Chains A and B, each alone.
Chain A
Amino acid sequence: MKKTGAQILVDALQKEKVEVVFGYPGAQVIPIFDVLYDLENLRAMMDEGHLLDRLRKKELFFNDLPRRRAMEELLKKTGAQILVDALQKEGVEVIFGYPGGQVIPIFDALYDVTIPRVILVRHEQAAAHAADGYARATGRVGVCLATSGPGATNLVTGIATAYMDSIPMVAFTGQVPTPVLGSDAFQEADIAGITRSITKHNFLVKSVEEFPLVLKQAFYIARSGRPGPVLVDIPADVSRASLDNYEYPETVSLRSYKPKLIGHILQIKKAAAAIAAAKKPVIYAGGGVILSGAHRELRALAEKINAPVTLTLMGLGGFPGDHPLFIGMPGMHGSRAANAALQETDLIISIGARFDDRVTGNVDHFAQSAKIIHMDIDPSAISKIIKVDIPVVGDAKQILGELIKFVASRSPDEWNKRIDSLTAGGIFTYKPSESKTDIKPQSVIEALYKLTEGKAIVATEVGQHQMWTAQYYKFDEPRTFLSSGGLGTMGFGLPGAMGAAMSHPGKEVVVVAGDGSIQMNIQELATISLNRIPVKIVILNNGWLGMVRQWQDLFYSRRRSATCLRRKPEICGECGGVNGCKRAYVPDFIALAASYEISAFRAENAGEVEQVLRAGLAVDGPALMEFMVIEDENVFPMVPAGKPLDAIMLEG
């Protein structure tokens, strides 16, 4: 094969993997430039992505018009393709969605790619909760996608759930095309308006030109500072429009948003001094510890100053549940030890917690002799409920890292003895069942803890079962307890667990549910079954909306209005209402699971609990386990709403 000298040179350049030649033509090198002009050679030297990148940066230019046009075509992207590209660049591996008219272009673009994977849910609410569960389990941004109008409004509960618990999430919604916006078009809803107060921020994308920057900002806002959900509303014409010279922004900066991460050193030193002066310090930590990944620093601080640690519902897993300094959750269904510690302490060291009403009880009687150090990334959380003495604004991990350097070690003393006396018999206790057959709901959680060796990711719905899980499953690691704390959303647990399981956590994923709340998003059994998502479903079936029934029994003269999940008494003609009522119950969860092709097991008496748990946990794939627990068990301890923490009821 004959080659010219110029061809030999280009061949050598290729073999030496030279990517670019800088040059200037002239008479004597025309033959060489002529060979270089053969773009197929150039193309061979570079992968397409690289080529496009250089084209974009205008480092390459084609004189040849048809070729230039072809290259420009490659640089064009539609709004839908831009979205998919942004998802990939943001590292999104899975999105939960439901198609509809205005998002067909987006689903069409997703059809071309394997990443992100699209999980088709059976109701948009579940898409939002699944994205949220994924985010809680991983710390990464969860993503969901729904169509305009009803698709978007169905996301609302899920978005509000994420907002209340500061979960990073981006929700994409389709919208009617911009020319008909505001005309009450078919499936039009002003979702940006609707979600304004339940998102950290939201966007209505008016043109494809602004779309790349909006996407970059959306992910940045969702995950930075105090995280939260961001909604991006995308009119269908924006999805379809194409943009020349698309480029995903590499950096983002917003003049109106600069989260403060570094705690003020003087405030940190003040906090250290207050700790040194305290006789009875207690650490009160919340979801901020999980969100910032400050669990190691928290443990180091607690051990250095030997202070007891109480964790809010959102904070569970932020400090080992079996650590000798752990005293359980505070507040309404908190432990005697935690509530007594808060009332007796002279210094509350609050880290990423927000003095929620479920924690403080009556604010006027809360921790009256205590000084309060409050570390929080959100300045508006400080002194919102309780007047704080030493605020420190910043990221918990950073602040604790600094604080540990300045605090002096403290040895266990009288205060620790006092705390130990409160936890001596166990942080939470319940009376075992009097009969050998009755199943106490708490015992199911204890057995679950034992059989999963405390290593599972446990999601919950909302109600009594949620509190029992928080009390009796001792969470050791962050991001293993997933529960709707702030909004208290029944229906979160099943899809939330589904989202967590999609992140391949290398852990068993369990959802603990009541027989009421499991039915709020029961349709997701289809998603779980068809995608073989390995979620283990534990249902504590007491036949009641148990938490409300508990309030009715304690504070409403046992008038059990609309809380019984069995056939109405006027239909069956009798109402004992408590244990032994054999009125009809639907659904039969075992038969229901079978219809979804999910293995299911039921325990009717105490002797079967472990056996059923073992069988369910052993299933490769999803499984449902139903426990027919006693009907009238209540959650204790309990501080009645609006009462001081001292008014704690240890049992009914």
Chain B
Amino acid sequence: MSTHIISLLVENRHGALSRIANLFSGRGYNITSLTVAETEDATVSRMTIVVAGDEGILEQITKQLNKLLDVIKVIDFIDRPIIERELLLIRLDVSKANRREILDLCDIFKARIVNVTPKSVTVELAGRSSNIDEFVGMVRPFGIREIVRSGAIAIAKAKE
């Protein structure tokens, strides 16, 4: 089992998201994350799905997605260098004692403090999902109140 990022261009219309979600649930594929938003063309949405499964499953997912009438294009990013990003918003418990340590960690990870109260700090971090995993692992001992992750998005690297 490994994770893959699949990028879809889909018709921006009623039922499209449900049809795609249905395909995953109906055929027993696991979605790790899914993001969707409009593209430069308002009639087209971009969906980025992170899935877990071996290559055979990935191939089936790609083929089944291609079969859906709402799906215009499926890009599986296999054999293509990509730029991958995910956004994290995380709220941590703080005390006088550990505030400095948290700020240092934020510095190292290039995370930004977006909200501070006497007892909590809310941090924003954009980066590869693996970076975010690491950051979350590092701050876990301080006490996590809430985590919101956007799920990964990706774009292929431009060819020379």
Q: CB-nearest residue of chain A relative to B26? A: A197
Q: Give the chain B neighbours of A193 by CB distance below 8 A.
A: 18
User: Which residues does chain B contribute within 8 Å of A368, judged by CB atoms?
Assistant: none
* Contact with B22, one of A196, A200, A256, A379 (Cβ below 8 angstroms): A196
The answer for the CA separation of A201 and B68 in the assembled complex, in Å, is 8
User: B72–A196 contact, CB under 8 A?
Assistant: no
Bound-state CA distance A379–B15 (Å) is 24
**Main SS of chain A's interface residues?**
mixed
- CB of B140 within 8 A of chain A? no
A201 to B22, CA, bound (A): 13
Answer yes or no: B112 CB below 8 A from chain A CBs: no
- Tell whether B93 is near chain A: CB-to-CB under 8 Å: no
A255 to B18, CA, bound (A): 20
Q: How far is the CA of A234 from the CA of B70 in the complex (A)?
A: 20
Residue of B nearest to A387 (CB): B56
Q: How many Å from the CB of A559 to the closest CB on chain B?
A: 32
When the two chains form their complex, are residues A380 and B67 in contact, meaning their CB atoms are under 8 A apart? yes
A257 to B71, CA, bound (A): 8
| A396 interfacial contact with B, CB 8 Å | no
Q: Is the CB of B66 within 8 A of A204?
A: no
The stretch of B46-54, B57-65, B76-84, B99-107 that contacts the partner chain: B57-65
Asked if A256 and B18 make an inter-chain contact with CB atoms under 8 angstroms apart, the answer reads: no
Chain A residue with Cβ nearest B16: A256
Asked whether A256 lies within 8 Å of B70 as measured between CB atoms, the reply is yes
A254: which B residues are within 8 A, CB to CB? 69
B63 touches A379 (CB 8 A): yes
Task: State which of A204, A221, A383 has its C-beta within 8 Å of the C-beta of B15.
Answer: A204
Q: Could you tell me the distance between the alpha carbons of A378 and B56 in the complex, rounded to whole angstroms? A: 17
Which residues of B from 1 to 56 have beta carbons under 8 Å from A? Answer: 10-11, 14-15, 18-19, 22-23, 26, 56
Q: Taking A196-B18, A196-B22 as contacts, is the C-beta distance between A201 and B69 under 8 angstroms?
A: yes
Known interface pairs A204-B14, A256-B11, A383-B59. Does A197 touch B22 (Cβ–Cβ under 8 Å)? yes
Let me know if A256 and B72 touch, CB within 8 A: yes
B60 with A380: CB separation less than 8 A: yes
Contact indicator per residue, chain A 223-243, by CB within 8 Å of chain B (1) or not (0): 000000000000000000000
Interface residues of A in 236-276 (CB under 8 A from B): 254-257
- In the complex the two chains form, what is the Cα distance from A379 to B62 in whole Å? 10
Instruction: Collect the chain B residues with CB atoms within 8 Å of residue A379's CB.
Output: 63, 66-67
A197 CA to B20 CA, complexed, in Å: 10
- The number of residue pairs between A and B whose CB atoms lie closer than 8 Å in the complex comes to 40
A196 to B24, CA, bound (A): 12
| Interface presence of A278 (CB below 8 A) | no
In the complex, residue of chain A having the shortest beta-carbon distance to the beta carbon of B56: A383
Across-interface contacts of B64 in A (CB, < 8 A)? 380
Residues of chain A from 381 to 427 with CB closer than 8 A to chain B in the complex: 382-384
B71: A residues at CB distance < 8 A: 256
Q: Is the CB of A255 within 8 A of B72?
A: yes
Query: A192 at the A/B interface (Cβ < 8 Å)?
Result: yes
| Cα(A206)–Cα(B15), bound, Å | 12
B123 to chain A, nearest CB (A): 39
Per the bound structure, the CA–CA distance linking A448 and B121 in Å amounts to: 82
Query: Shortest beta-carbon distance, B98 to chain A, in Å?
Result: 49
Interface size class of B (residues with CB under 8 A): 20 to 34
Could you tell me the distance between the alpha carbons of A75 and B38 in the complex, rounded to whole angstroms?
A: 37
**CB <8 Å contact, A206 and B69:** no
Given known pairs A256-B70, A256-B72, the reply for A192 and B15 (CB within 8 Å) is: yes
Taking a contact as CB atoms under 8 Å apart, the answer to whether A378 and B22 are in contact is no
B11 to chain A, nearest CB (A): 6
Q: Which B residues are CB-close (under 8 A) to A384?
A: 60, 63
Q: Please, which residues of chain A bring their CB within 8 A of the CB of B59?
A: 383
Contact residues in A for B72 (Cβ distance below 8 Å): 255-256
| 175-204 of chain A: CB within 8 A of chain B | 192-193, 196-197, 200-202, 204
Closest to A200 in B: B69
Give CA–CA (A465, B60) in the complex, Å.
35
* Residues of chain B contacted by A383 (CB below 8 angstroms): 56, 59
Which residues of B sit under 8 angstroms from A257, Cβ to Cβ? 69
Q: Quick one: given A197-B22, A206-B14, are A221 and B69 in contact (CB under 8 Å)?
A: yes
Distance in Å from the Cβ of A383 to the closest Cβ of chain B?
7
Which A residue's beta carbon lies closest to that of B67?
A: A380
Residues of B close to A197: CB separation below 8 A: 22-23, 26
In this complex, what residue of A is CB-closest to B25?
Answer: A197
Q: What residue of chain B has the Cβ atom nearest to residue A192's Cβ?
A: B15
Tell me, rounded to whole Å, the shortest Cβ–Cβ distance linking B32 to chain A. Answer: 22
Least CB distance, B81 to chain A, in whole angstroms: 26
Residues of A within 8 Å of B69, CB to CB, are 200-201, 221, 254, 256-257
User: Chain A residues with Cβ under 8 A from B66's Cβ?
Assistant: 379-380
Give the distance in Å from the alpha carbon of A202 to the alpha carbon of B69 in the complex: 9
Nearest-neighbour CB distance to chain A for B22, whole angstroms, equals: 5
The smallest C-beta distance from B132 to any residue of chain A, in angstroms, reads: 33
A302, B60: Cα distance in complex, Å: 31
A383 CA / B57 CA spacing, docked (Å): 11
Min CB gap B70→A, angstroms: 6
Within 8 A of B (CB), among A11-51: none
Proximity bits, A367-381, B CB within 8 Å = 1, else 0: 000000000001110
CB distance from A181 to the nearest CB of B (A): 11
- Expressed in whole angstroms, the Cα–Cα distance for A202 and B68 within the complex equals 11
**Least distance between B51 CB and chain A CB atoms (Å):** 16
In whole angstroms, what is the CA distance A193 to B25 when docked? 14
Given the complex of chains A and B, what is the CA–CA distance between A206 and B23 in angstroms?
A: 24
The smallest C-beta distance from A374 to any residue of chain B, in angstroms, reads 13
Q: List 14 A-B contacts (CB under 8 A).
A: A192-B15, A196-B19, A196-B22, A200-B69, A202-B15, A254-B69, A256-B10, A256-B72, A378-B67, A379-B66, A380-B60, A380-B64, A382-B63, A383-B56
Residues of B within 8 A of A (CB): 10-11, 14-15, 18-19, 22-23, 26, 56, 59-60, 63-64, 66-72
* 14 more CB-based (< 8 A) A-B contacts, given A201-B69, A202-B15, A256-B69: A196-B15, A197-B26, A206-B14, A254-B69, A255-B72, A256-B10, A256-B68, A256-B70, A378-B67, A379-B63, A380-B63, A380-B67, A382-B63, A383-B59
5 closest Cβ contacts across the A-B interface? A380-B63, A201-B69, A256-B72, A197-B26, A196-B22
